[in-house]
């Protein structure tokens, strides 16, 4: 699970914190996370990988459907990253010799991106019974082909977009820009130092 904390202090004196977690799966780690949120009445977002929902038990789906403090968002269909052989796998290959510069929403055809966006959108509706309004790309990697796929689902907020840099910014979309900082040294390894000073790693895209 990747977790990020965004501290938004733009127009107000009291900082607001948005928890962004993604790669929702049926794991003990996620269970602990949700249990903690419930125990402290904390609200979080959670990025859903569409094909993961299909693997979950009915009990797990029922549990997720009854989490009032979680905002689910579209995190793609398969979270795949391509190998140089053209195979999309998750988790991604971690060596440069195997990993290609292609991911689910990065350097892939518009038709494929449209399909993956739609598939995740539909299974979230079917399995969790909710209509989502937001999207964030796996590995935060997307290109301009992602924009029409995003808009086709009727979404209005985007986690960590790069469309301003790419030159394809859609109108009227609320953005959560990366910049609050990671709160883990690596996935599943929380860092108290990062938590206490969430902006210290200063992402170049800046704050919202
Ligand atoms: Zn992810």
Distance from the alpha carbon of residue 187 to the mean position of ligand 1, in angstroms: 10
Tell me if 139 is assigned to some domain: yes
Tell me if 116 is assigned to some domain: yes
Average pLDDT of the residues in 102-131: 95
Distance from the alpha carbon of residue 1 to the mean position of ligand 1, in angstroms: 8
Distance from the alpha carbon of residue 24 to the mean position of ligand 1, in angstroms: 8
Structure token pair of residue 86: 């053209």
Distance from the alpha carbon of residue 9 to the mean position of ligand 1, in angstroms: 26
Tell me if 204 is assigned to some domain: no
Buried b (16+ CB within 10 A) or exposed e, 82-101: bbeeeebebebeeeeeebbe
Distance from the alpha carbon of residue 13 to the mean position of ligand 1, in angstroms: 31
Distance from the alpha carbon of residue 105 to the mean position of ligand 1, in angstroms: 12
Q: Phi/psi at 23 (nearest 5 deg)?
A: 70, 45
Tell me if 93 is assigned to some domain: no
Distance from the alpha carbon of residue 45 to the mean position of ligand 1, in angstroms: 13
Distance from the alpha carbon of residue 123 to the mean position of ligand 1, in angstroms: 17
Residue 190's domain comprises 2-79+106-196
Tell me if 87 is assigned to some domain: no
Distance from the alpha carbon of residue 146 to the mean position of ligand 1, in angstroms: 16
Give tens-digit pLDDT for 136-194: 999 889 999 999 999 999 999 999 999 988 999 999 998 887 765 667 777 777 777 77
CATH of the domain at 66: 3.20.20.370
Give tens-digit pLDDT for 38-96: 999 999 999 999 999 999 999 999 999 999 889 999 999 999 888 888 888 888 888 88
Tell me if 206 is assigned to some domain: no
Domains in the chain, number: 1
pTM of the model: 0.84
Tell me if 28 is assigned to some domain: yes
Distance from the alpha carbon of residue 96 to the mean position of ligand 1, in angstroms: 19
8 A C-beta contact, residue 198 and residue 5 = yes
Residue 195: how many CA atoms within 13 Å on its side-chain side? 7
Distance from the alpha carbon of residue 113 to the mean position of ligand 1, in angstroms: 16
């Amino acid at each position: 699970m990747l977790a990020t904390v965004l501290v938004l202090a733009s127009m107000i004196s009291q900082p607001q914190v948005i928890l962004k977690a993604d790669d929702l799966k049926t794991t003990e780690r996620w269970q602990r996370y949700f249990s903690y949120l419930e125990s402290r009445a904390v609200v979080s977002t959670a990025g859903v990988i569409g094909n993961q929902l299909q693997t979950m038990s009915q009990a797990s789906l029922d549990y997720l459907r009854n989490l009032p403090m979680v905002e689910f968002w579209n995190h793609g269909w398969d979270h795949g990253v391509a190998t140089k052989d053209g195979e999309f796998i998750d988790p991604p290959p971690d060596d440069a010799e195997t990993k290609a510069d292609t991911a689910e929403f990065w350097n892939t055809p518009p038709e494929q991106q449209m399909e993956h966006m739609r598939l995740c959108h539909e299974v979230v509706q079917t399995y969790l019974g909710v209509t989502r309004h937001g999207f964030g790309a796996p590995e935060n990697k997307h290109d301009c082909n992602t924009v029409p796929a995003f808009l086709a689902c009727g979404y209005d907020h985007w986690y960590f977009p790069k469309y301003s840099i790419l030159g394809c910014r859609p109108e009227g979309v609320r953005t959560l820009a990366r910049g609050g900082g990671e709160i883990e040294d690596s996935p599943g390894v929380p860092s108290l130092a990062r938590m206490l000073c969430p902006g210290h790693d200063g992402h170049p895209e800046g704050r919202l």
